[in-house]
Structure formats: C-alpha cells, structure tokens
Structure 1
C-alpha cells in the first residue's frame, strides 16, 4: 500500500494501512446523536460482551480442558488454555466492541497555534537525518517551531549531514533549527533531558532521527492536544512503517504497526487511557515533564515517563491522523533487539509504578492488560509453540479445536480496524497499497518470532542485563 506523500530523496513507501483520524468515521447525523452513549456506558458494554464471549469459550472448551488435564495435570491445563484461548478471546472481543462503539469528537482548527519545541534525538543517523529535517522543514505549522537536533555522541557523520541539509533546505521564517553536538554518548533519556532544559516553549515534541513527519503532522498533533480534555499532558502521534517494501520482515511489521499498535492505542484513547506517548512522535507539556523529572535513565524511557504522568493523574491522548513514518528493523537481529528493548521497558514501567494496577480509573484495565502480556508470551513460547509442533504430528492436546475458535474473532477486529483506517486514508487524500503477503506472515507466523523475543526481554530486565541505546 502506498501513501501519496511528498517523497523524500530515498524510498518513501510508508504503510499498507493508515491511522484513523480523531474524527468520527461516519457522518454526524441526527440518529447517531440520539444513540450517543457515554464513555462509561460503552466501557461497560464492551466488558460485558467480552465476558460473555469468554464464558462461551470456557463452556465450549470443557472437553479440551479435561483431555489436557488427563494427559498432564489440572493446573497445567487451566493455565495453558486460559492464556491460549480465554485471555486472547477476551481481548479480541473487547477490541471489537470498542471499535464498534467508537465515535470520537472532531479535531478543531485553532485561532492561534502555540510555539512548539521539537527534540530530535539522533545516534548514528547519518543515513536518515537529512530526510527527517526535510520533512520538518515542510511542515505547514503556523506557530513558532524551535527544533533541536540532539546528536548523542554519534560515531558516523550525523552532525555533518545534518548541517549540510540545513544549508540546502528552505527553512520557514517561523522555524528555528539548531544542531546540538554532544560528543560523548550519554543515552537517549539523557540527551532528551538536555533538550528539555533548552526548550523555550510550553509544548515539547519528540521525533526519532529516522522518521518522516507528514507535512500536517505537527499541526494535527497540536490541535488534538489543545482540543482534548484539560488534564491532557501528552498526545501520542500515529507512527507507521516507512520502509515496508525492503523485505518480508518489514512488510509484516507494516501490519503490526497498523493493526496491532494503532488498534490498541485507538481503543485505549477512546476510554481516555492511552498508556504510552512513544518517543518516535509525541507531544508533551513541558512543565508536566519537568514535574516528573523528565525522561528516566532506562531503555524504555518513553514508556516509563508516560506512566509517571499517569501516576500523577494526568491523561495521555492519541492523534490518529498525525502521521509519522519510521524505518523499522530490516533484519531479524535488529527486530529482536528492538522488541527486546520494548519488553524491558514494560518491566521497567511496572517496577517504577506498580500502584497503577490499583488506581481507580478506566486506564487501570489497560495496565492489567499489559501485565497479562507476560504470562501470555510465556505460555505462547513454552507451551503453545511446542503444542503446534505436536499438532503437526496429529496430537491436538495443546493446539486444540478452541484455538481455531479465536481466529474468526481476530479476523473480525482486523476487518473493523482496517475499514476505520482506510476511511481516514481517503479523507487525508492517501491511497492504500496491497500487502497481502505481509499480512499472511503477520497473521500466521509473526508471533512465532515476536513473542519468544519478548520473553527474552522480560528475562533480561529481571536478571539485570546491561542496557544501551545502540541496538542497530
């Protein structure tokens, strides 16, 4: 699938599917006004539907549960089937219900656009930094933009390439771009905090050094920030894959960013419960960042700082139509290191803010949701994958009939989110490009690679292995 965005000098294949806007997917007509339901009501209905589906699953799986218990034992059977069938089924049912009820308010234009400081953390980004700066120079933002390229001790020509690009670009009068060269590598959190100390505007955005920001990206993420509820202190943008046509792995990640990451963020944002303002493209309120001590020294600095904001009672929003396109890992090793880092970041967040599990707000469900990723990944890696191998030889003890019952539900929520994203694409004047082979790999085999890597990340954090930013 292809986005008709202004092409940078290198490949600009951006995504097979697109992020949804902050607007309703259907016209605002009188019948929808009459059928409007409050957020707590939608949440309650989604929970009840998910519980109903899970109850049905438990009833249907009685024979499977008994047979597996006879072969192994009851504790093993209950744990295995719970995390192979019941929990994924509950999650899929809740996702479908949420997407069906989602009617979010429109993002409105502003009469005056506030100044924004943009922090571009860069470590060995000589191949991509020029394109990132090109995309920033083409922003249609009407307010003042203060942009700091924060070079964190790169060992390549990142600084030279950035300075050369700035001389060649046409920079709008309301944009001020400066390269800050820190010769000693201090880590991403440290260099972002240095940029935060330099920021002169109340809104601070972060962008990765290998990202391409669509020309209205800053405008739309700021509009969402201003239009969101008053306690909003951060808004995550929509990050999609830029180099999706590099190979089969990047094609599969294209679907992961759209159908996995984007769908979950959309679901969370409907209940005012977005959990992570990712470092690749997000905007924060400067004083809120400073009140929690800025970005912490850890591998998952964006996850942990987001949970720090939640801990203080703040809200994080999601701008579905503020689009950034990032280069994803092109090799299995790079992919494994990235997902290992993300998993470590999740454990870091739980270690830093375990009390969020008991905070009385709708976001608490999603904190528990993330907690369940640990047993889900463990069971998938050490029980379900061996079960698949057994099934190939005709032994359906673990990968059993109810496993197949989860597939239609997963397919249904994929259809829901695809339709939502495609409608936004059309509204944004973008076209969808086919990537069926990537989807097949994503749907059938992607988890076989990703979830064992996640387990590796959990273990690495729990045993205290060395942490570093450079994972390329």
Structure 2
C-alpha cells in the first residue's frame, strides 16, 4: 500500500507534459480509437426503414448457409429466417462433410418446405468452398450469408438488404451480438467486446467509408459483384479476403447497425485463443501478403482510400500489441517501484473510458442487454487491454515467423495443398 501511496503522490506532482510522457502508450494506441467511437455514437442516425414491398424491387433474396456438424442448431436458424419482416425468397444450405445428423436434418427441413435447396458433401472442403457451392445453387440477386448457429432480430433481413438500394454498394455487414454471454466470464467479456468493436466500432468505420470486413456470420452481397471478384477464396479469412477484393474493385462496403443477429462465442479461454489465433493470423496473411499491393502506389488499380484501413490495422492492432511489452519494460526501467502505480493509473483511466464507450454502445444497441453486462466492464477493461493484446501479439509472431495460417485445421489439409 505504501508503494501505491507513493505512486499516487508522484502522479499528483506531475505536469501535463509529464503525464503525457508517462501514459504515451494509452494516448497513442487507445485514445484515437475511442475518439472515433465517440463520434460514431454522437453522429449515428438510424435509417428510415423501407417498406418490404419496395425492397422486393431490388431483386430476389437468397440466404445461403454452410456448416459442418450443425444438426443441433440449423433448424432454429432456418425457422428464424422465415419469421422475418422481409422473409427470403429461398434458403440454400450445404452440409460440408458433416458426420452428425445434419444432412438428414436438411432433408427433413426441405420436405417441410423450409429449405428450397439442400446439399450434403461426402468430404469436408471448408466453409468458403461450401458457401461458393451454395451460391451457385441459389437464384437470388442479393445473397445473404449466415452462420448455422445464428438467431435474428425479426427486422434483420429487411435492414441488411436495404443499403442495396444504392447501386454502388457491393456488400453489407450486419451487426453481431453474443447469444451465450451468461455462460462464462470469457463469453461475457466477448459480449462487451462485440458491442464496442462491432456495434459502435464498425459504425465509426462506416462514417469514414472504412468497413473492411463483412463478417461471415451475417453479411449480404450483391451477387453480380460477388461473382465479378470470383466468389470466396477457399482459404481461411474468407470474409476479410472477399471484402478487400470487393473494395479494390470499387464496390462500397457498408455497415447496417440495425440488422442484428445473435451468435454463440467461445466460452473458454483456450477455445477463444484458438479462434483469435486463426483470425489474427489470417488477417496478417491477407492484408500484408496476399493484398500487399494495396500498399503500393505503383500497383495497377491502386486506390489511396484503401491505405487507411490497412495502416489502421497495422498501427492499432499489430504495432499496438507489439508495443505493450516494451512500454511495461520501459516503465519499470525508468520508474522502478513507481511503475505498478503508473500501470494501475493507466488501467483506471482505461476503465473509465471503457465504461463510457460501453454505455454509449449499449444505448445505441438496446438489444444487447447492456444492464446484464455492466458488472463485467471492469474485468473486460483489463482482459481486453492486456490478455487480448498478448493473444494478438502471439498470433502475429506465429504468422510472421512460421506462416502458421497455412497450416490451420479450420481449412482441410487437402485444400491447403491445392492452394499451394
């Protein structure tokens, strides 16, 4: 306690310039993102819903779903889609090499008229390949891609289709909330993370035209645009990859904040770590290997606007994660016993900002049940600021050193070999 008291006395004695030099990490890597989130919350305007009859004039709407061993959840997903204020014209489902009862369940749902096209493959080819197959089987002008375990707000389809009234829009990203937030602390922290980073964060990116990933859990595509860029790549990170290709082709990507779906997230630290390793490794591979020419002003089709989201990810995600250990070492080397108090002060400041941002996000998205999540915000602030940054750093190191994304079992080994 004496150390903390000394630390507080030390902080009180600092000038504004000294405070800036002490907390440079927070000011550089956290404050700018929060500032844009504040702007999104203040400037956000809810779009006026277009009548379903008018939306029908945009063309046929096909929902495509692909999954592996999803027999337990597929029926709830399908039934929820037919309960929409704007139901789809058809639902096409592909069982990707499932070994459970999924394929049989699809036959039952097709007999009931709840699925128009159903197909089961003998071998697993991966989600991207299965979605490509489903897209070829469908007949819609707008293709909505959803995960098997997703449930939906009853206006979700209507609101994710609405932006296609603009002929320049190629893909629309839906708003994703967590359905199993009460299952564990880890799931609860992710519910807050999704609320802040998707519900508010993507709204902020949408303000400046920088939505760069239409999530594979719930997104919609103009079919002609999707086909023009060759569909989904059969590797991992297919949602980020196809969004980047659509953006490079000149199509706008937008975020429909009121198009809400609910998804189950990993509820243990080990499964969350595995998932985020895959996401972050794929992001590095796609952004800085496959699409590295986006950064080259001499490359064919160079678009300066694409530099923004590439550098945003590099600076705030990659460099931000790498800088944290150096910041901690620097604090202890420079301030010795006062370093813990300085770190606590930085975390306390982040907690205050996280709380404000969370409240703004919860107000903007009342479906998230923010009141139930509020007690978790202190733990989330520490978890997101330290644990998740270290997970990202480990993933980036794996990818840069050993190309780990090329060996991830999320994509079957035979697909990796063909892609090589």
1:60 has 2:3 as partner:
no
- How far apart, in 2, do the equivalents of 1:418 and 1:387 lie? 36
Closer, same or farther: CA 461–252 of 1 in aligned 2, 3 Å: same
Offset, 1:133 = 1.9
Once residues 226 and 378 of structure 2 are traced to their aligned partners in structure 1, the CA distance between those partners, rounded to angstroms, is: 41
The answer as to 2:41 corresponding to 1:96 is no
Partner residue in 2 for 1:186? 125
Counterpart in the other structure of 2:7: none
Q: Structure 1 residues 238, 112: closer, same or farther in 2, change over 3 A?
A: closer
- SS of 1:243's partner is coil
1:213: Cα distance to partner?
2.3
Matched, 1:317 2:254: yes
Q: Which has the higher contact order (CA 8 A, sep 6+)?
A: 1
CA distance in 1, matches of 2:42, 2:209: 17
* Aligned match of 1:199: 138
Shift of 1:384: 5.0
Distance 1:214 1:100, change over 3 A: closer
The 3 A distance-change label for structure 1 pair 387 and 261 is farther
Q: What value does the CA root-mean-square deviation take over the aligned residues?
A: 3.0
1:367 and 2:310 correspond: yes
Alignment of 1:88-167 (within 5 A): 88-103=30-45, 105-109=47-51, 110-113=53-56, 114-141=59-86, 145-167=89-111
What SS does structure 1 have at the residue aligned with 2:70?
coil
Contact 2:117 2:137 in 1 (8 A): no
Partner of 1:233: 170
Greater helix content: 2
CA contact (8 A) 1:298 1:467 kept: no
* 1:248 and 2:248 correspond: no
SS at match of 1:150: strand
Contiguous gaps of at least 5 residues in structure 1: 1-58, 69-80
1:187 and 1:364 map into 2 onto residues whose CA distance is 30
Q: Structure 2 length as normaliser, TM-score?
A: 0.81
Aligned residue pairs total 384
**Structure 1 residue 330 corresponds to structure 2 residue 286:** no
Show the counterpart of 1:264: 201
Retained in 2: the 8 A contact 1:139–1:216? yes
User: 2 CA distance for matches of 1:360 and 1:107?
Assistant: 32
Q: Structure 1 177/450 Cα, relative in aligned 2: closer, same or farther at 3 Å?
A: farther
Q: Is 1:232–1:314's contact at 8 Å kept on the other side of the alignment?
A: yes
Equivalent residue for 1:308? 245
What is the CA-CA distance between 1:302 and the residue it aligns to?
Answer: 0.2
